[in-house]
Amino acid sequence: MITRRAALGLFAATPIAFGISSKVALAKEPEVFQNPTAINGYDPVAYFKESKPVEGSAANLVEWNGANWHFSDARNAAEFLESPESFAPVFGGYCAYAASKGYLAPTVPEAWTIHEGKLYLNYNLHAQSLWREDIPGNIEKGLANWPGILG
C-alpha cells in the first residue's frame, strides 16, 4: 500500500508534476540556454546585487556563450563581461530541481536561489521549495546528470 506522502513524492519527482511532457523535458536543447535570450531577459547580476529578479533591457545587451543577456544598466553588463561564469545560472538557466531529477524544465524569474555564490533557477515556487529541502544533495545530483540530460 502506498501512503499519500509516498504517492505525492513520486508525483513530485516526475516531469508531469511540473506540467511538462517528458518528450519536451528530455528534448535536446542548447547547452546553456532555453532560448536565444538568456534567463527570460532578466539581469543575472541583479540577483546578486539587489537580491531580487530585475528585468533587463535590450538596450544593455551582451552576447555571450550563444545567447543574448539583458541587463538593467550598463554597469551590470560590464560587471558580467568581466566574469560571466560568476553570474550565469548553473544548469544553463534550466530548472535546478529538474536537473537533479535528470530532466530539463524551463524557469521563472521569481524562483531563484543563490547558494555558495552561484545562481540557481527553478521552474516555479513549488520546485524551488523542493530544491531548497536539500540544496547540496540536489546540486550533486544535478551535476552528475549534467550535461547528459541535454541529449
Render pLDDT for 49-66 as a digit per residue (tens, 0 to 9).
999 999 999 999 999 998
Averaged pLDDT, 126-143: 98
pLDDT on residue 35: 66
The C-alpha atoms of residue 93 and residue 70 are separated, in whole angstroms, by 14
Write the single-letter amino acid at 108.
Answer: V
Which range, of 14-28, 48-62, 132-146, averages the lowest pLDDT?
A: 14-28
Helices vs strands, H then E, count in the chain: 8, 4
Q: What is the pLDDT of residues 78-105, one digit of tens each?
A: 999 999 999 999 999 999 999 999 999 9
For residue 147, cis peptide bond before it (omega within 30 degrees of 0): yes
Question: How large is the greatest C-alpha to C-alpha distance in the chain, in angstroms?
Answer: 58
Q: How confident is the model at residue 12 (pLDDT cuts 50, 70, 90)?
A: very low
| DSSP, res 26 | T
Query: Rounded to whole angstroms, what are the CA distances from 106 to 73, 81, 115?
Result: 25, 24, 19
Q: How confident is the model at residue 149 (pLDDT cuts 50, 70, 90)?
A: very high
Q: Indicate whether 16 pLDDT > 50.
A: no
